[in-house]
Structure 1
């Protein structure tokens, strides 16, 4: 591959990543604000509203840190020091772990919402928002403790190359710390595997409930009515779509990470492709949730109608 092709690929990858970050920040911010406005206007919450808002906040911060890391991958920044490197790398890693935890929680909550009254999950349906906030706090503390190793291993190394350091960006690297890294890697892998397994179980449970409900509807109603999905069924289908997409992206990200070997090299294109894959869920998830949320669509139509009336009056 000649230098012109390498330069073109580098530029294309850079602008694709920046575009993904911008779309992700905008979509997650809109989703978060719409849920806040819905709460202020309607004064009531669905079981999954807090978790969806929490996920949108996490993905907004994740996209911001991704943008910071991308700018330093393509060009070293003079203001990056030890504190900056430790803060950005730790925050990015923390948001990734919180993303999978909150996604798993969203899947479990939707399975509980969909479960019949006779189910053993029915007793969890009426938990207060305080319980959810306490669980969010637990997730933050637990994942921060696992990712705390980045506070020790991350160092600022501008314009320094060493075989003993693992490349992260042009200004930041990681000390190998083999045994510590192996311990925390094992813990993180066990956590991710457990959460994905829980997602698969809850998704399978929701699919079985939806199939059972569809068969009962076809017996009780006409085919036209049976084809109309209830709001809960539409929400469940969107979450099932997100679960499938997340699992696909997670394993694709693992394959790309493994293909680079145990040591990282200073390959900005490879790193950005990995970041594109790893952060695609944070960009797609708010778009799916916005498009399938009936209240959000009504709110947008209401605001659009007000804007049109105002423009007619001004004319």
Structure 2
């Protein structure tokens, strides 16, 4: 990971613009899940740290744009770039990171480069779908999971697939692992948005629903409610809600086991990912650690 961080800093320095360096230094590195995944799949490959750095720049760019779209004032507990320097600057910084990542990606084999580049197209489409779906209450689980796959899982899938190609491993199996890891990871995040407090999250609790996002627990809850309660839930969608409504939603979720049902899907996806790489102990451990974040 030290080599990955060194590569990231090298790429930022090569851009040769002090403002980019200043703004990038403000960003929190986060979990570096995608980078760690690449290093674990292709530990002996000399270009693995560079590939990991490229993927992290892409991920960072997507988060910058995501914060602008969501008008988020914080990211991982610190002020977002759009909060400190404005949305225009945040968008342009994201564009710089994307373009630098792509300029470095051309050094790799065509199939590796294509898998990463295609995932960026997918995540951008997923972001568009997410924005569109937030315009009204969504009760369609399949529609939500498709969006989740595009927006979140595709880059993790591509990172696993590309690093397997780099290492001469079964790229298809590792791609399945990455896809399911990405989906289950985001479902757990959806759960935590409801069950954790704002200090732990680094953002307001139940912020997803306030922003108009009907994540899996809300979709499961809606299916179980009577007509009157369905309308009450819809009335709270995409707006600041009172503490009374927060407590009502949480109570109904507890009554109908909405969190548990969402967790079951995350566990099923995780189990499928484990089967895809059943001989890779370290990757299986990543899944086990991730799934435990829910409680």
- Could you state the TM-score of these two structures normalised by the residue count of structure 2? 0.31
- Could you state the TM-score of these two structures normalised by the residue count of structure 1? 0.29
Q: Which has the higher contact order (CA 8 A, sep 6+)?
A: 1
Q: Larger C-alpha radius of gyration, 1 or 2?
A: 1
